[in-house]
């Protein structure tokens, strides 16, 4: 009796290992979204070799204080717009480095979404489906890992740092679970070594011998999964130098800003260069119900150098054309300024930004009304945004998976890509 | 002074935007207030409280962003304003009347809000008109390159210290309105105060990041001549953002107020000895959700604080006890702020800039 299906028959051993690595208990779920049914889609997507970085603005950044400013209006606040390197595109004065590369940005100013609070908004803006649905939808990172990840790579396909998503790999199964690291590159404890390389090798060989003997008498999938998870971890340990940005940081920190988020952005670049298809970097904390302006201003002092350096570095290395960089959070913020000098959650009209990966830069898409209270033209839903991202990356937004016998699509039925943005 | 008879003398409506700064001018009853739009209005208040509401007479135009602080020269000649537009402006309060005037409706926003809610039964109040003379600044100091959040004079007003959100501190030779020296702090300048003799300054700093290791809050005593730190008081405040700072007129007390949005009634005044930096006492109760401004009473025995809880409190400096609370909390956990405070030179009146749109003027005698 075969202990495992071969890669050609089903799923590769390494891909399975990735899943078992991501779940601490090695737990498995049945029918991971019909992963075998969409192999053709995956093969097509991989041919393009695209990758994605998600810069996650945890708490929800203010559209009125970034890319959809309303100077002179009661909703405007104290920030002032500055011109960018694209005629007609203005942005906050505290994003000057981003303004200098606006030709790389596609700014969507007409997000109109459905989930107004943090847990549901984080879920919705990571999966494009409502949290209240019973189906466990996968995060964007898991979906991209599924279709753009290399199952034979020693590196994880879905890496994230800082405050990020809350849905995990959902119905795609544990092999696409996120691999969480610190924004300083700190790896999980299991990747550490406990002795000399020689001692480690002898230890692994001994463990393998004991387990092989054990398996001769006990054939069961959980035992195999457990063994494979260990092997996967050992391979990751070998590749762990990729996560060490100490040397690069010495020269890069001035440009990226000597901050957690700056390090995270450099780490994202390094991982993309190493072949990881999806990296998410979270930036705390935009949930400014009080003192919105000083909070945002402080955050921008970290965001502007890190984000702009990431885009510039990717462009200089010829990677931006194939790397989509997404900037978004779970909600926007209210046009009205409350009596705590704050802005609350707002989903009727807010902004996200796309760059690279073939996105047509230097353009504004959609428009809000004079005070930013509602979308005036071209409303964009969660599904529309995700369809745009998936199409840009070469993934069919309507690719179908199965949860049990139930079909589920990558994006909701009534959504579609924004063709004006997709190159 | 007992403050037993302290009472609201006038509510001066002005709801164009939040009133963020306020000061009485010199030894007079002239009151200036600035708002979030960068506008400044001036009222010439009567000597005694009246039933008739005083109207503003002048509008000082030039700032294009939040007016963060207002102070005047002791002789009443000059009004000085700092702003998020990165300038400090100096206004000649004795300049001849200008030719241009403008008609205002002091409660325009209240009317507009009521109009919008008329279908729900909201009553639209009658307009409160005012005709004000427009004035320009006599001097614009544009050396700061970031939001100017605070400035302060020494006692004889030969020196002025201003600080901004880039951490730049500029010491001015005030009569000449020329820069004398400058130095830099690591973080944004939140509040500054100059000691009466001008030799020492207290500077509070902030970098208001949330849940981030780069979050910073600091307070230091500086030697203004050398631009060096005399004493770092950070350990006494453990991450608190200090929004207000003042030296007493005799230079023996330094008052610091905790701002930002802090937990519960943490918006307290802390009294320190400027000579050694040591804490003398805390004045309680603190303001719910944070303190916005503080001012020593001219009698030298009392201090007032305003907060994010819409009240003003007066404390006796000798025993630290609260002697009077002015105004009322407006309900709810968060309800407007009294943004700024100023006493008249004789201590008979106290003005508070009200975020809800206006200036509260209390008679204290």
* Nearest by Cα to B342 from B48, B43, B109, B90: B43
How far is residue A324's CA from residue A279's CA, in Å, rounded to a whole number?
A: 11
What gap in Å lies between CA B260 and CA A342, rounded to an integer? 12
**B58 CB within 8 Å of a chain A CB:** no
Is residue B206 within 8 angstroms of chain A, CB to CB? yes
- Which residue in B has a C-alpha nearest to residue A339's C-alpha? B336
Identify the pLDDT of residue A187: 78
Best of A340, A371, A373 to mutate (most B CBs within 10 Å, chain B): A340
Q: Fold for B7-363, please state it.
A: Methylamine Dehydrogenase; Chain H (2.130.10)
Partners of A290 on chain B (C-beta within 8 Å) are: 261, 334
Q: Where does the pLDDT of residue A18 fall: very low under 50, low under 70, confident under 90, or very high at 90 and above?
A: very low
CB contact under 8 A, A339 and B207: no
- pLDDT for residue A34 is more than 60: no
Measured distance between the N- and C-terminal CA atoms of chain A, rounded to whole angstroms: 50
Q: Give me the residues of B, 104-123, that contact A with CB < 8 A.
A: none
Residue A222, classed as helix, strand or coil, is helix
CB contact under 8 A, A78 and B36: yes
Spatial distance between the Cα atoms of B195 and B246, rounded to a whole number of angstroms: 8
Helix (H, G, I), strand (E, B) or coil at A32: coil
Inter-chain touch B214–A259, beta carbons under 8 Å: yes
pLDDT in tens, B192-221: 999 999 999 999 999 988 777 778 899 999
Chain A: closest CA distance from residue B184 (Å) = 17
B212 with A284: Cβ contact below 8 A: yes
Q: Do A340 and B209 touch (CB under 8 A)?
A: no
Instruction: Inform me whether the C-beta atom of residue B166 falls under 8 Å from chain A C-beta atoms.
Output: no
* Cα dihedral across residues A383, A385, A388, A393: positive or negative: negative
Average pLDDT over residues B347-364: 96
Task: Kindly indicate the confidence band of residue B249, based on its pLDDT and cuts at 50, 70 and 90.
Answer: very high
Q: Using 50, 70 and 90 to split pLDDT, how confident is the model at B350?
A: very high
The H or E element spanning position A52 is strand A51-57
Alpha-carbon gap: A263 to the closest alpha carbon of chain B (Å): 13
The minimum CA-CA distance between B64 and chain A, rounded to whole Å, is 9
Cα–Cα distance, B70 to B34 (Å, whole number): 7
| Average pLDDT for A92-100 | 98
Residues of B in Cβ contact (< 8 Å) with A78 = 36, 65-66, 84, 147
Torsion of CA A33, A36, A39, A41, to 10 degrees: -30
**Does residue A169 surpass a pLDDT of 70?**
yes
Is residue A422 within 8 Å of residue A358, measured between CB atoms?
yes
> Which among B180, B191, B193 is positioned nearest to B153, based on CA atoms?
B193
Percent of chain A's residues with pLDDT above 90: 70
B206 to chain A, closest Cα gap in Å = 10
Q: Which chain A residues have a beta carbon less than 8 Å from that of B84?
A: 78
Q: How many CB pairs under 8 A join A and B?
A: 54
B 24-43 residues inside an 8 A Cβ radius of A? 36
Burial A9-32 (b: 16+ CB within 10 A, else e): eebbbbbbbbbbbbbeebebbeeb
Q: Whole-model pTM?
A: 0.90
B270 Cβ contact partners less than 8 Å away, ≥ 6 residues apart: B236, B237, B255, B256, B257, B258, B279, B281, B282, B283
Report yes or no: B210 at the A interface, CB cutoff 8 Å: yes
* Binary contact (A78, B65; C-beta < 8 A): yes
Contact B335 A339 (CB under 8 A): yes
Checking if the pLDDT of A32 tops 70, the result is no
Give residue B43's pLDDT band: very low, low, confident or very high (50, 70, 90).
Answer: very high
Contacts of B289 in chain A (CB under 8 A): 340
Cβ contact A284–B206 (<8 Å): no
Among candidates A166, A111, A113, which has minimal Cα distance to A137? A166
In tens, the pLDDT along B137-162 reads 999 999 999 999 999 999 999 999 99
pLDDT in tens, A252-289: 999 999 999 999 999 999 999 999 999 999 998 899 99
Check residue A151 and report its DSSP letter: T
Chain B residues near residue A297 by CB distance under 8 angstroms: 165
CB atoms within 10 A of CB A338: 13
Interface of A with B in 330-369 (CB under 8 A): 338-341
Is B355 in contact with A339 (Cβ distance < 8 A)?
yes
Taking an 8 Å cut-off on Cβ atoms, the answer to whether B261 and A339 are in contact is no
Q: Is the pLDDT of residue A7 over 50?
A: no
Query: Using the beta-carbon criterion (under 8 Å), do B261 and A340 form an inter-chain contact?
Result: yes
> Are A291 and B208 in contact (CB < 8 Å)?
yes
CA distance B39 to chain A (A): 13
A299 touches chain B (CB under 8 A): yes
User: A289 to chain B: nearest residue by CA?
Assistant: B261
Q: Is A62 on the interface with B (CB under 8 A)?
A: no
On whether any CB of chain A is under 8 Å from the CB of B260, the answer is yes
Least CB-CB distance to B208: which of A78, A259, A295? A295
pLDDT at A22 over 50: no
Tokens of residue A397, six digits: 């937004």
Say if B14 is an interface residue toward chain A (CB within 8 Å): no
CB atoms within 10 A of CB B96: 6
Average pLDDT score over chain A:
87
Q: CA of A271 to nearest chain B CA: how many angstroms apart?
A: 23
Binned at pLDDT 50, 70 and 90, residue A2 comes out as very low
What domains can you pick out in chain A, each with its CATH number? Answer: 13-185+244-409 (3.40.720.10)
Domain residue extents for chain B: 7-363
């Amino acid at each position: 009796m075969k202990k495992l299906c071969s890669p050609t028959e089903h799923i590769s051993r390494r891909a399975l290992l990735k899943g078992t690595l991501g779940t601490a208990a090695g737990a498995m779920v049945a029918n991971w979204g019909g992963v075998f049914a969409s192999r053709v889609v995956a093969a097509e997507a991989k041919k393009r070799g695209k990758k994605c970085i998600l810069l996650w603005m945890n708490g929800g950044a203010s559209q009125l204080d970034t890319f959809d400013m309303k100077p002179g209006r009661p909703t405007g606040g104290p920030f002032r717009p500055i011109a960018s390197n694209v005629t007609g595109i203005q942005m906050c004065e505290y994003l000057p480095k981003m303004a200098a590369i606006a030709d790389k940005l596609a700014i969507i100013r007409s997000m109109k979404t459905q989930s107004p609070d943090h847990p549901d908004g984080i879920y919705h803006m990571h999966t494009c489906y409502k949290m209240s649905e019973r189906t466990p939808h996968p995060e964007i990172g898991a979906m991209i890992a599924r279709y753009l990840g290399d199952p034979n790579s020693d590196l994880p396909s879905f890496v994230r740092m800082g405050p990020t998503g809350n849905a995990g790999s959902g119905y795609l199964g544990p092999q696409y679970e996120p691999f969480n690291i610190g924004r300083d590159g700190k790896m999980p404890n299991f990747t550490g070594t406990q002795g000399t390389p020689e001692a480690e090798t002898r230890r692994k060989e001994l463990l393998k011998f004991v387990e092989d003997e054990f398996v001769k008498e006990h054939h069961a999938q959980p035992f195999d999964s457990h063994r494979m998870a260990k092997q996967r971890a050992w391979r990751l340990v070998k590749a762990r130098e990729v996560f060490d940005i100490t040397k690069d940081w010495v020269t890069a920190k001035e440009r990226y800003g000597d901050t957690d988020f700056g390090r995270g952005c450099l780490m994202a670049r390094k991982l993309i260069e190493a072949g990881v298809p999806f990296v998410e970097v979270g930036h705390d904390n935009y949930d400014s119900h009080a003192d919105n302006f000083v909070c945002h201003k402080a955050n921008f002092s970290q965001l502007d150098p890190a984000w702009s350096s990431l885009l510039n570095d990717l462009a200089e290395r010829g990677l931006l054309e194939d790397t989509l960089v997404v900037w978004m959070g779970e909600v926007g913020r209210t046009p009205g300024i409350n009596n705590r000098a704050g802005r609350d959650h707002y989903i009727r009209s807010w902004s996200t930004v796309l760059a690279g990966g073939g996105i047509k830069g230097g353009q504004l898409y959609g428009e809000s009304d004079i005070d930013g209270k509602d979308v005036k033209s071209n409303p964009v839903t969660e599904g529309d945004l995700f369809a745009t991202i998936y199409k840009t990356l070469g993934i069919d937004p309507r690719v179908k998976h199965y949860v049990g016998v139930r079909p589920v699509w990558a994006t909701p039925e009534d959504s579609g890509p924004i063709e004006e943005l997709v190159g | 002074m007992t403050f037993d008879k302290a009472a609201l003398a006038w509510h001066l409506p002005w709801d164009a935007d939040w009133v963020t700064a306020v000061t009485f001018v010199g030894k007079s009853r002239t009151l200036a207030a600035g708002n979030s739009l960068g506008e400044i209005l001036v009222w010439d208040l009567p000597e005694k409280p009246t039933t008739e509401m005083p109207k503003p007479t002048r509008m000082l135009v030039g700032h294009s962003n939040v007016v963060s602080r207002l102070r005047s020269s002791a002789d009443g000649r000059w009004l000085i304003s700092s702003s998020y537009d990165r300038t400090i402006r100096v206004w000649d309060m004795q300049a001849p009347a200008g030719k241009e005037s403008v008609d205002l409706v002091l409660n325009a926003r209240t009317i507009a809000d009521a109009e919008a809610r008329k279908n729900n039964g909201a009553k639209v109040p009658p307009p409160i008109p005012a005709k004000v003379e427009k004035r320009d600044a006599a001097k614009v100091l544009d050396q700061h390159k970031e939001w100017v959040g605070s400035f302060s004079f020494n006692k004889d007003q030969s020196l002025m210290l201003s600080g901004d959100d880039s951490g730049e501190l500029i010491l001015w030779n005030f009569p000449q309105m020329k820069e004398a020296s400058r130095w830099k702090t690591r973080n944004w300048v939140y509040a500054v105060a100059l000691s009466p003799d001008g030799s020492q300054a207290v500077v509070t700093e902030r970098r208001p990041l949330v849940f981030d290791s780069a979050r910073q809050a600091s307070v230091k005593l500086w030697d203004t001549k050398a631009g060096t730190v005399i004493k770092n008081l950070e350990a006494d405040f453990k991450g608190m953002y200090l929004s207000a700072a003042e030296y007493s007129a005799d230079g023996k007390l330094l008052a610091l107020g905790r701002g930002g949005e802090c937990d519960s009634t943490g918006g307290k005044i802390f009294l320190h000895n400027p000579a050694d930096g040591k804490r003398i006492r805390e004045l309680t109760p603190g303001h719910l959700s944070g303190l916005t401004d503080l001012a020593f009473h001219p009698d030298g025995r009392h201090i007032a604080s305003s907060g994010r809880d819409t009240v003003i409190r007066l404390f006796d400096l000798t025993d630290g006890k609260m002697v009077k609370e002015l105004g009322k909390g407006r309900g709810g956990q968060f309800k407007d702020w009294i943004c700024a405070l100023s006493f008249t030179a004789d201590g008979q009146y106290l003005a508070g800039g009200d975020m809800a749109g206006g200036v509260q003027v209390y008679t204290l005698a």
